[in-house]
């Protein structure tokens, strides 16, 4: 062996080691496969080369010489895949020509194939795939190729299997760890956000009412003869609003007085007779008792007549229970029935029923802002007057605390009974409390 031959072989070995090192440093498996196919032409001097992966009896093209990215759907790639699937390769490189099994479609232009099976490293577990390297030459395979390709395949195969298995697993694990870190950071941010304190705001319906409301009720069972005022009229204290039918009451008083006079006449006669006949004293005592009963009946009838006129208990605006005077006149009422209300006082107040599930806002200092349905763009500040000490059952079958507030800088044109939405702004609470409060109340059955 001459010095030139020794130098050439050493350069070839160095080049093989360099190629293997380059494959280990490739970014991913596809880059490594492309480097293995394209860089090896300097040593093997082939016309074209293709790297395939055979798994489960099916072959697929991984890298093709001269192409940055393999085209598995090209005619040549499909033919080479069918050829690789039919090969029975040993560990040694195998030369295939038209005479010993190379398909005519691949043997065009005097093509001859050198087929190399890339064996996995000895320390690698059994794999379910195999790499096949197809080297195409013209007319014949050069003699040196058999030994050179075995040495190069030993270096290349180790790097390719490493890239295909170990590095892909590492990348997957790295990707999963990265995702976990990202999700962990997101979860930590969400957890931290749960403790960010935000203002506690509660909304509830409100109704405008008079500061002072006085109700008038029926004194006794009877028939309302007439109503002297209309709904919405202004009255003064003591003004007559409605009157009972007094015909029956007057008849009752007349009858009671007649009965009293009759008993008094009988009593006077019996008292005269008792001077001469002591046995009549018992009758006198009986008549005196009847006289007292008759006096009570007269006083009762007088009381009914005296209270036959229902006067306004305060000064203000009348709100009839039946809304119209015509409906109240001629109506039979029972003792305690509400007949009308008097709206008095200066200004207006709003009554806000706050659901007991939202009552936490009442436990600390809070502000109230009102928005009427007729003017939702206008915010009306309010001064808190009173908060009920216990929840009351409302018409909606819910327990609510009643909050009474006085309107400040109220706009003109307000009327009793107007409705709107009240916003109660309390202190700052964690956002998690606001988000999960409804869920906790739901699971508690509230």
Note whether 19 and 151 are within 8 A (CB).
no
Query: CA 150, CA 160: separation in Å to the nearest integer?
Result: 15
Q: Is the pLDDT of residue 2 over 70?
A: no
183: in domain: no
155: in domain: yes
- Over residues 362-395, the pLDDT tens digits come to 877 888 999 998 888 888 888 889 988 888 888 8
Q: Is the pLDDT of residue 396 over 90?
A: no
12: in domain: yes
Share of the chain above pLDDT 70, in %: 86
Mean pLDDT value across residues 288-311 = 86
Question: Which residue matches tokens 């010993």?
Answer: 100
Q: Is the pLDDT of residue 421 over 90?
A: yes
Indicate which CATH number applies to the domain containing 91: 3.30.450.40
Say yes or no: 7 and 137 in one domain.
Answer: yes
Structural domains in the chain (count):
4
- Over residues 104-159, the pLDDT tens digits come to 888 888 889 988 888 887 776 677 788 888 888 888 888 888 778 887 777 777 77
Indicate which CATH number applies to the domain containing 226: 2.40.50.100
Say yes or no: 59 and 109 in one domain.
Answer: yes
- Over residues 94-104, the pLDDT tens digits come to 888 888 888 88
Say yes or no: 330 and 376 in one domain.
Answer: no
132-148: string of b/e by CB count within 10 Å (b at 16+)?
bbbbbbeeebeeebeeb
Sorting pLDDT into bands at 50, 70 and 90, what band is 34? confident
Say yes or no: 416 and 330 in one domain.
Answer: no
- pLDDT value at residue 106: 86
Identify which of 217, 218, 222 has the alpha carbon closest to the alpha carbon of residue 330.
Answer: 222
Say yes or no: 320 and 369 in one domain.
Answer: no
Say yes or no: 14 and 141 in one domain.
Answer: yes
Say yes or no: 52 and 157 in one domain.
Answer: yes
Indicate which CATH number applies to the domain containing 290: 1.10.287
Say yes or no: 15 and 43 in one domain.
Answer: yes
Residues 6+ apart with CB under 8 A from 368: 352, 381, 382, 384, 403, 405, 422, 423, 424, 425
Say yes or no: 123 and 264 in one domain.
Answer: no
Say yes or no: 223 and 300 in one domain.
Answer: no
425: in domain: yes
**Boundaries of domain holding 51:** 3-168
Query: CA 370, CA 302: separation in Å to the nearest integer?
Result: 51
Note whether 209 and 416 are within 8 A (CB).
yes
Highest-scoring range by mean pLDDT, 35-44, 195-204, 249-258: 249-258
Mean pLDDT value across residues 262-287 = 75
Say yes or no: 69 and 97 in one domain.
Answer: yes
Residue 123 in 3-state DSSP? coil
Highest-scoring range by mean pLDDT, 149-163, 211-225, 259-273, 355-369: 211-225
Indicate which CATH number applies to the domain containing 415: 2.40.30.170
Sorting pLDDT into bands at 50, 70 and 90, what band is 422? very high
180: in domain: no
Q: Is the pLDDT of residue 428 over 70?
A: yes
List of E strands, 101-259: 111-118, 129-138, 197-209, 212-217, 222-227, 234-235, 240-244
173: in domain: no
Computed over every residue of the chain, the mean pLDDT equals 81
Identify which of 362, 342, 374 has the alpha carbon closest to the alpha carbon of residue 209.
Answer: 342
Query: CA 442, CA 124: separation in Å to the nearest integer?
Result: 58
Single pTM value for the model: 0.48
- pLDDT value at residue 26: 72
Look up residue 431 and give its two tokens.
Answer: 């956002």
- pLDDT value at residue 167: 53
13: in domain: yes
Query: CA 351, CA 419: separation in Å to the nearest integer?
Result: 10
104: in domain: yes
Mean pLDDT value across residues 270-297 = 77
Say yes or no: 411 and 264 in one domain.
Answer: no
Mean pLDDT value across residues 215-238 = 88
- pLDDT value at residue 100: 85
Sorting pLDDT into bands at 50, 70 and 90, what band is 351? very high
Mean pLDDT value across residues 238-263 = 86
């Amino acid at each position: 062996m001459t010095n030139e031959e020794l130098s050439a072989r050493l350069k070839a070995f160095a080049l093989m080691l360099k190629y293997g090192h380059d494959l280990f440093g490739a970014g991913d498996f596809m880059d490594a496969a492309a480097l293995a196919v394209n860089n090896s032409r300097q040593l093997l001097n082939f016309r074209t080369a293709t790297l395939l992966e055979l798994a489960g009896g099916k072959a697929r093209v991984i890298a093709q010489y001269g192409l940055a990215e393999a085209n598995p759907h090209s005619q040549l790639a499909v033919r080479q895949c069918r050829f690789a699937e039919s090969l029975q390769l040993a560990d040694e490189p195998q030369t295939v020509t038209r005479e010993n099994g190379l398909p005519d479609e691949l043997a065009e232009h005097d093509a001859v194939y050198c087929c190399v099976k890339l064996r996995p490293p000895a320390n690698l577990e059994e794999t379910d795939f195999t790499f096949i390297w197809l080297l195409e030459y013209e007319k014949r395979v050069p003699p040196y190729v058999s030994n050179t390709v075995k040495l190069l395949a030993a270096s290349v195969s180790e790097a390719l299997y490493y890239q295909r298995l170990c590095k892909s697993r590492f990348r997957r694990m790295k990707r999963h760890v990265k995702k976990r870190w990202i999700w962990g950071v997101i979860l930590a941010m969400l957890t931290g956000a749960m403790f960010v304190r935000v203002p506690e705001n509660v909304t509830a319906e409100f109704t405008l009412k008079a500061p002072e409301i006085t109700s008038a009720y029926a004194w006794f069972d009877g028939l309302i003869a007439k109503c002297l005022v209309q709904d919405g009229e202004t009255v003064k204290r003591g003004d007559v609003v409605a009157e009972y039918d007094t015909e029956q009451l007057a008849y009752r008083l007349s009858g009671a007085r007649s009965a009293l006079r009759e008993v008094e006449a009988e009593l006077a006669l019996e008292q005269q007779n008792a001077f001469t006949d002591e046995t009549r004293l018992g009758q006198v005592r009986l008549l005196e008792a009847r006289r007292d009963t008759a006096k009570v009946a007269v006083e009762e009838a007088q009381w009914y007549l005296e209270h036959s006129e229902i006067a306004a208990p305060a000064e203000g605006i009348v709100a009839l229970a039946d809304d119209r005077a015509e409906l109240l006149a001629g109506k039979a009422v029972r003792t305690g029935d509400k007949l009308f209300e008097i709206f008095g006082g200066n200004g207006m107040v709003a009554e806000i029923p706050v659901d007991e599930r939202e009552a936490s806002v009442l436990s600390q200092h809070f502000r109230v802002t009102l928005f009427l349905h007729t003017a939702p763009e206008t915010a009306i500040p309010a001064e808190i007057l009173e908060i009920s000490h216990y929840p009351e059952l409302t018409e909606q079958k819910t327990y609510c605390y009643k909050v009474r507030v006085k309107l400040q800088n109220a706009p003109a044109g307000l009327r009793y009974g107007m409705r709107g939405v009240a916003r109660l702004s309390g202190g700052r609470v964690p956002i998690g409390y606001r988000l999960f409060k409804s869920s906790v109340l739901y699971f508690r059955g509230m």
